[in-house]
Amino acid sequence: MSLRAATRVTRSLSGLLPRWGHGQAPPLLFSQQRNNSTSPKIRVEFNPTSGVAVMHMQSPPVNSLSLDFLTEFCIGLEKLEMDKGCRGLIITSSQPKVFSAGLDILEMYGKSPERCGEFWKAVQEMWLKLYGSDMITIAAINGSSPAGGCLMALTCDYRIMADQPRYTIGLNETLLGIVAPFWFKDTMANTVGHRTTEMALQLGLLYDPSEALNVGLVDQLVPEDQILSAATQTMTKWLAIPDHARQITKSMMRKPTIDRLTSNREADIQNFVNFITKDSIQKSLRAYLEILKKKKT
Ligand SMILES: CCC/C=C/C(=O)SCCNC(=O)CCNC(=O)[C@H](O)C(C)(C)COP(=O)([O-])OP(=O)([O-])OC[C@H]1O[C@@H](n2cnc3c(N)ncnc32)[C@H](O)[C@@H]1OP(=O)([O-])[O-]
């Protein structure tokens, strides 16, 4: 999407935001728990011969990052991290057209401050574990990947995206009337640079695959049916590098960013809870959920 087109989307979304009277609680129209199924949200395939695991996100409809999803994801990641035979991880989606829709908006709408805090801690945990992983991590982005979905991809060492113009990727938080925290911003700036991040975050830009490749948000585009084979090929190149040298180098590049969050975790949780439970922010989220619903009709 061009800058002008993205600005148009921002304007048209904000034009759709309904107005509420001060102190008026928005009526609750949305189911507070979309996906409470007990079936696994993550499927892990590990090949001990190659030392590579593939994590398939399979949480319908859109792999949104709920507290349950994040908990399962982190447990799976920890198991792989502890297995010395596992050197590489490919993350992909089993849901059609979507890699991940980002944070589950229903986890941020109409929830108690305690629950919001618990949720945010799980989001932090996912980022810390993925960004600090000793494994080689590759995102095989086979669908749209807004906001938290984009963050998840950005934490990986390499990103391959399906060359399908209708898919988009980016940190679009401002379109929802919310603000990406400093560590989302840092992760993106470490990947594409300060100026591109500044503009993308303010405008909530969602890039199509070729635009994402142009700005360096993704590293490679391939036809969708070749995404896993391309990820496996890239993995082979990375596996040829001695682990200890690659891991120390990765840590040298990422540690300052990780340390900024680890030394401010509690304050970051408090900041999120205070922000997200504000009346005005709850209204913006509700309006965005309505827009998502209307899209279907
Ligand atoms: C400070 C905090 C930082 C925040 C970071 C974030 O990540 S904020 C997150 C920012 N994320 C975004 O802005 C992404 C918003 N989502 C999208 O743009 C699109 O859903 C899509 C492009 C991911 C997939 O398009 P598609 O045409 O294939 O699918 P569809 O649109 O028809 O949706 C199917 C169903 O899923 C529902 N649902 C969707 N997303 C979410 C969600 N995140 N959560 C919960 N639910 C969500 C949608 O309402 C619908 O429900 P219904 O009616 O069946 O009950």
- Domains of the chain by residue range: 33-227+237-296
In whole angstroms, give the CA distance from residue 244 to residue 259: 21
Q: What is the pTM of this model?
A: 0.91
Confirm or reject: Cβ of 103 under 6 Å from ligand 1: yes
**Nearest-CA residue for atom 17 of ligand 1:** 101
The answer, yes or no, to whether ipTM is higher than 0.90 is yes
Catalytic-labelled residue, pool 148, 149, 170, 177 = 148
Contact 119, 84 (CB under 8 A): no
In the numeric block, the tokens 């035979």 are attached to: 85
User: First vs last Cα of the chain: how many Å apart?
Assistant: 24
Q: Of 25, 49, 34, 44, whose CA–CA distance to 90 is shortest? A: 44
Task: Tell which CATH architecture fits domain 33-227+237-296.
Answer: Alpha-Beta Complex (3.90)
**Token output for 92:** 């992909």
Catalytic-labelled residue, pool 154, 172, 217, 221 = 172
Its sign, for the CA torsion 120, 206, 182, 88, is: positive
Residue 297 burial (10 A CB sphere; 0-12, 13-18, 19+): exposed
Confirm or reject: Cβ of 206 under 6 Å from ligand 1: no
**Token output for 73:** 């994801």
Q: For this structure, is 148 an active site residue? A: yes
**pLDDT one digit per residue (tens) for the chain, 297 residues:** 444 334 333 333 433 333 333 333 344 445 555 556 778 999 999 999 999 999 999 999 999 999 999 999 999 999 999 999 999 999 999 999 999 999 999 999 999 999 999 999 999 999 999 999 999 999 999 999 999 999 999 999 999 999 999 999 999 999 999 999 999 999 999 999 999 999 999 999 999 999 999 999 999 999 999 999 999 999 999 999 999 999 999 999 999 999 999 999 999 999 999 999 999 999 999 999 999 988 866
CA distances, 4 to each of 9, 145, 193, 205 (Å): 9, 21, 21, 10
Q: For this structure, is 173 an active site residue? A: yes
**Nearest-CA residue for atom 53 of ligand 1:** 293
Q: For this structure, is 142 an active site residue? A: no
DSSP 8-state code for residue 69: H
Confirm or reject: Cβ of 150 under 6 Å from ligand 1: no
Q: For this structure, is 103 an active site residue? A: yes
In the chain, DSSP finds a helix count (H) and a strand count (E) of 11, 8
User: Got the DSSP string for 226-253?
Assistant: GHHHHHHHHHHHHHTS-HHHHHHHHHHH
Tell me, what amino acid is at 104? D
Pocket test for ligand 1, best of 59, 292, 293 (most atoms within 8 A of CB): 292
Q: 3-state class of 53 per DSSP? A: strand
